[in-house]
Structure 1
Amino acid sequence: MAKRKKHKEHEHIDESWLIPYADLLTLLLALFIVLFASSSVDAKKFQMLSESFNQAFDGGTGVMEYPNPVPENTVSPDDEKQKKVGGLGKQDQKELSEMQKNITQYIEENNLQDKVETVLSGEGLLLRIRDNVLFNSGESEIRPEDQKAAREISQLLVMDLPRNIVISGHTDNVPIKTAEFESNWELSAMRAVNFMKIILENKNLDPRLFSAKGYGEYQPIGANDQVEGRAKNRRVEILVLPQGQKENQMKQ
Structure 2
Amino acid sequence: MSRRRKKQNHEEHIDESWLIPYADLLTLLLALFIVLFSMSSIDAKKFQALSEVFNEVFTKGTGILEYPSPISRENATVLDEQEEQDDKEKEEKRDKEIDWQELVSLQKKINTYIIDKKLNNNLDTSLTDEGLLILIRDNVLFTSGSDQVRKEDLVIAKEISDLLVLDPPRNIIISGHTDNVPINNSQFSSNWELSVMRAVNFMKIIIENDKLDPSWFSAKGFGEFKPITSNETATGKAQNRRVEILILPRN
Same fold (TM over 0.5): yes
In the alignment, the residues of structure 2 paired with residue 88 and residue 174 of structure 1 have an alpha-carbon distance, to the nearest angstrom, of: 44
Give the aligned partner of residue 210 of structure 1: 217
1:158 corresponds, among 151, 162, 165, to 165
2:187 aligned counterpart, secondary structure: coil
1:192 aligned to 2:199?
yes
Q: CA RMSD in A?
A: 2.2
CA distance in 1, matches of 2:128, 2:221: 22
What code does the residue aligned with 2:126 have?
V
Given the alignment, which residue of 112, 135, 139 partners 2:142? 135
Q: How does 1:1-80 map to 2 (within 5 A)?
A: none
Give how far 1:91 is off.
Answer: 2.0
TM-score where L is the length of structure 1: 0.62
Paired position in structure 2 for 1:116: 123
Contact 1:186 1:216 in 2 (8 A): yes
Which residues of structure 1 form unaligned runs of 5+?
Answer: 1-73, 245-252
The partner residue of 1:233 within 220, 235, 240 is 240
Deviation at 1:88, TM superposition (A): 8.0
Question: Is the Cα contact below 8 Å between 1:193 and 1:212 reproduced in 2?
Answer: yes
**Aligned with 1:104 (options 111, 115, 132):** 111
Larger Rg: 2
Identity of aligned residues (%): 56
Unaligned stretches of 5+ residues in structure 2: 1-81
2:246 match: secondary structure: strand
Structure 2 match to 1:178: 185
> TM-score if structure 2 supplies the norm length?
0.62
C-alpha contact 1:88 1:124 (8 A) present in aligned 2: no
The worse-fitting range, judged by mean Cα deviation, of 230-239 and 99-108 is 99-108
Question: 1:1-51: per-residue Cα shift (whole Å, max 9, x none)?
Answer: xxxxxxxxxxxxxxxxxxxxxxxxxxxxxxxxxxxxxxxxxxxxxxxxxxx
Q: Structure 2 CA distance, aligned partners of 1:165 and 1:180?
A: 28
Q: Using a 3 Å threshold, how does the CA distance of structure 1 residues 88 and 148 change in structure 2: closer, same or farther?
A: farther
Distance 1:112 1:230 in 2: 19
